[in-house]
Structure 1
Amino acid sequence: MYTATGEESTEEGRPTTPDRPVQGTSTAELAEILRERLDQLSEGATAAVLEQLPSFRDCGQDAADLLATVRQFLNAGINAVAESRSATTASEADIARAYGARRAVQGIPSEELTLSFYVALRAVWIGFPWNTAHGDFLATLVGAMERSMLWLQNLVATVSAGHQQALVGTWLDVSVVGKQLLNALETAGTSEADVRTALERLGMDPAGSFQAWVASSPDDSATGRLLHTRLEQHPGRCVVVHADGQLVLIGQHTEASAVEAALTEAGAAVVGAGLCREGVAGARHSLADARRALRAARLRPGVHRYADVWLSALAEESAADTRPLFEDAIAAARTHPHLADAVRAFADHGFSVAAAARAVHLHANTLTYRLDRWRELTGLDCRDYMGLVTSRTAVELV
C-alpha cells in the first residue's frame, strides 16, 4: 500500500499536501481528504473551465476572481459530502442565485454556465488522490459521488434560475430605454441631447457608428428577449425593440452577419438593413434606410440591404413622382414575368447573356430573344445604361 512521507512536489516543483492512506469508511474522512487538497483541486477545476469554455475567458473577469468562486463552490460541495446531504442550504442557494445573475450580466450563455459546473466537477474527480482509496472506502466514495451529483444538480438549477431572472430584468430595462431611443430617433423635433442620453444609458457611444435593422414580426416580447440574449453573446452592443409588429435593432460595433443570422433564427423572414453611419444623425439615417429597404422588399423573404436596393427603395418612396417612368415596364413585367426574370438575370450577372442564360437555365439565344421582346413592349433597351437601370428598377416594383 502506498504511504506518503514528508512533503512532496508536483511536476511544476510546487509543494503539495502528501497523499495519506485511507482505511476508514466515513464520509467525513472523504471530505477531509478533499479539504486538504482544496487549493490544488480548485486550481485544476478553474484551469479546465478556462480552457474548455471560451466565454469564461472573454467575459472580462480576472482569473483570480474565478478561482475564488470555484473554491467557494467546491468548499460548499465538500461540506455537503461531509454532511451526507444532497440538498442545498438556504445560504448556498442565495450565493448560487446571485452568481447566476452576475454571469448573466457578464454575457455568459446559460448553456456554458451550466456546463462549467460539470467541467469543474470532472476536473475535481480527475485530481482526486485515487491511490489513497482502498478496501471498503470505495463503497463510501461511490455513495458520496451519487449524493454530490444530486447536490450539484440542485445548485445548478438555482444558478440557472438566477441567470434567467437577471436576463429578463436586463431585457426589460433595455426594452424600455430602447423604446425611448426609437421614439427619439423617429420623432421630429426631438433634441440631439435626448438621443444622446438614451444612447449613453444603453452603453453606446453617441459619436460612434450605428447600423439598424427592421423586420416584420408578431407582437411577441419573447422573440425580442431571445434576440437580446443571443446578441449579448456577440461583440458590440445591439439594442432590440419590439414595437408595432416590428423588430427594430440598432447596433454599434456589431457584426452584421451575426445580427442577421440571429434574426433569421428568431423567425424574421423579411429583414431590411440600413447603412452603417456615424453619430446621432447617422443612427437616424440608418434606421430610415432599414425601413426603406424593408418596404422595397415587398414581403420577399431574405435580408434586403439598403446598399443593394436603394434605387428601387427611392423609387418606391417617391412613387407619385416616378410612376410615369416605370408604368409600361411594370405592366409588362406583370403580364410577362418570364421577361422580367430575363431582365433581372441580365442585370445581376455582369450584363452577360451567357451568364444570365445559365442562371435561369435557358439557351443564350432564348435569353437574347426575351430581352429583345422586352424592348419591343417597353421601349427600354437593357443594353444601354438608362434602359437597364429603369428596367431593373421596374421589375422590383411589381
Structure 2
Amino acid sequence: MNGGWEQVAALCRAAEQDLAGLTSVIVEQIRRELGDYASVPGDEHRSAVEGQIGALLAGLAARRRPSALDAARAREVGARRARQGLPVELVIAAYHIGYREVWNVLVARAEAEDPTLAIRLLRLVNFAWTWVQSSSAAAADGHAESVRASQAATVELGHRFIEALYVGEAVNEETALLARALAFDPDAAFCATCTEAAGWDGPSLEHLREQLNRRGSAYAAVRGSVLVIVSQHDGAESVHTARMSELLGERPIGVGLRRKGLQGAAASIVDAERSLTVARRTGRLSSFESDWLAATLMPHRHELAPVLASDAGSRNPHLAEALAAYAQHGFSVTAAGDALHLHPNTLKYRLDRWQQLTGWNPRTVDGLQRSLLSIQLY
C-alpha cells in the first residue's frame, strides 16, 4: 500500500482487536439513544453489532467495499428487527450510531498515535460512507420484506376471522385461535363498526389498520360493499365513536354494541350493519345503542310502510326538527323551543301542523313513536 496507507490499515486492525469492548460501547449507545431497542435481547443485539462492526473494520483495513455476504447479513438483521416490532427508521438510525462510534474511535486513536495519521484517515471517508449506505439499505430491504410477509399473513388470518364470524363459526376453537393470532382476547368484549367499502384500496386499508391498532386490538376488512372493523377497546363508547368518525371521515358509519366474546363479536357486526342502513339515510354516524329501534326495523321498512310511511319529514324538515327537539327535551314545548331558539307557540304550531299532515298526534306515545320512526325510516 502506498502513501502511508499501511498505518491507516493497522489502525483499523488494532480497533478490530478490541472488537468486544467497542461492541459493548456501541450497543450501550444505541440503547441509550433509541429506547425501543430495549425490546431486542441483549446477547442477540451484541452478536449482531459485533458482526457488523467486525466486517466494517476488516473491510476498511483492506479497502474493500461491502460484499454480497455483508449485504445478506444486514438484510437478515433488518428482517429480525421487523419481527421484533422495531420501525425501519430506528433500524437505520442504529446503523448510523454504530458507524459513527467506530469513526470516533478511529479518529481518537489516530490523533493519539500521530496527528498526521488523523489527516490520512480522511481517505477512509468514502469507503466508510459506502458501508453505511450499503448496510443500512440492505437492512431496510430486509425489514420491508419481513413487514410485507407479516402483513400478508395478518391479512389472510384477518379475513378468515371475519368470515368465520359471518358464517356462524364464532364458537369454533379455530376462530378463537385466529382471534389470538390477531392479538384479540376471545373472551373479552368486541365492538364492530361498518362503513362503505368504496375508496378503501390496499394502501389506505393498511394505513387504517395501523391507526386502529395504535389504540387496542383491531382488524379491518372489506366484505362485499361494506368495510367491517372489529375492535377491542377499554375506553367509553363516546370516545370509541369519536375515534371511528376521526378515522373514517365523512362517510355513513354504523357502530354496533359492545358485546362479550366471539359470539358477541358476530352479533356486534350485525348491529353495525343494521346501524349503517340508518346512517346511509340520515347522513350521520349511527350507533346501535341509540338507534337500535330504527336499525332493527330498517330491513322491514317496506312491510311497515302502510303504518309508518310519510314524506312529511322530508318535505318539511323544520317540522321534523321540532319533533326531535320535543322528544329530546322531556316532551316540553318550552324546553324544545328554547333549544331551537323558537317561541313556545311556534313550536306548538309546528307540532299541530305535523299532526294535520300525518294524522299522528306527537303528544301521544303512539303518535310520537310513529312520527320519529317515519322520519328515520322513510
TM range (shorter): 0.7 to 0.9
Query: Which of these residues, 325, 339, 342, is aligned with residue 365 of structure 1?
Result: 342
The answer to whether 1:280 aligns with 2:257 is no
**Residue in 2 aligned with 1:76?**
55
CA RMSD of aligned residues (A): 4.1
1:1-398 counterparts in 2 under 5 A? 26-32=7-13, 34-35=15-16, 38-57=19-38, 60-85=39-64, 87-122=65-100, 130=108, 132-133=110-111, 135-188=115-168, 192-202=172-182, 204-218=184-198, 220-229=201-210, 234=214, 236-252=216-232, 269-298=251-280, 304-320=286-302, 322-323=304-305, 326-328=308-310, 331-341=311-321, 353=336, 356-357=339-340, 364-365=341-342, 369-370=346-347, 372-378=349-355, 379=360, 381=362, 394-397=374-377
Partner amino acid for 1:283?
A
Query: 1:121: how far off?
Result: 4.2
Take 1:268 and 1:27, find their aligned partners in 2: how far apart are those partners? 63
Shift in CA distance, 208/141, structure 1 to aligned 2, threshold 3 Å: farther
CA distance in 1: counterparts of 2:22 and 2:170, whole angstroms: 58
Contact 2:169 2:175 in 1 (8 A): no
Summarize deviations over 1:293-352 as a string: whole Å, max 9, x none.
322210777754433443432232332455456434xx2321123444455567678985
Equivalent position SS for 2:40: coil
Query: Normalising by structure 2, what TM-score?
Result: 0.75
Greater helix share, 1 or 2? Answer: 2
Q: Is the 8 A contact 1:349 1:355 kept in 2?
A: no
Pairwise CA distance, 1:204:
4.0
What SS does structure 2 have at the residue aligned with 1:298? helix
8 Å CA contact 1:316–1:397 kept in 2: the answer is yes
Counterpart of 2:354, as a letter, is L
Q: Cα distance, 1:281 vs. partner?
A: 0.8
Relative to structure 1, the CA distance from residue 191 to residue 307 in structure 2 (aligned partners, 3 Å threshold; closer, same or farther) is: closer
The answer as to whether partners of 1:227 and 1:263 remain within 8 angstroms in 2 is no
Change (3 A) 1:143 1:355: farther
Question: Partner letter of residue 204 of structure 2?
Answer: T
1:284 Cα offset (Å) = 0.9
Q: Percent identity?
A: 23
How many residue pairs are counted as aligned between the two chains? 363
Shift of 1:235: 6.2
Counterpart CA distance in 2 for 1:367 and 1:267 is 37
* C-alpha distance in structure 1 between counterparts of 2:344 and 2:157, whole Å: 54
Unaligned runs of 5+ in 1: 1-22, 358-363
Q: Secondary structure at the match of 1:164?
A: helix
TM-score computed with the length of structure 1 as normaliser: 0.72
Instruction: State whether residues 344 and 395 of structure 1, in contact with CA within 8 Å, keep that contact through their aligned partners in structure 2.
Output: no
The answer as to whether partners of 1:380 and 1:388 remain within 8 angstroms in 2 is yes
Taking a change above 3 Å as real, the CA distance of residues 202 and 91 of structure 1, as seen in their structure-2 partners, is: same
1:381 and 1:88, CA in 2 relative to 1: closer, same or farther beyond 3 A? farther
Deviations 1:158-209 (A, max 9, x none): 2222222222222222222322222221125786344335435545443333
Q: Name the aligned partner's letter for residue 319 of structure 1.
A: R
CA distance in 2, matches of 1:43, 1:259: 48
The SS at the match of 1:318 is helix
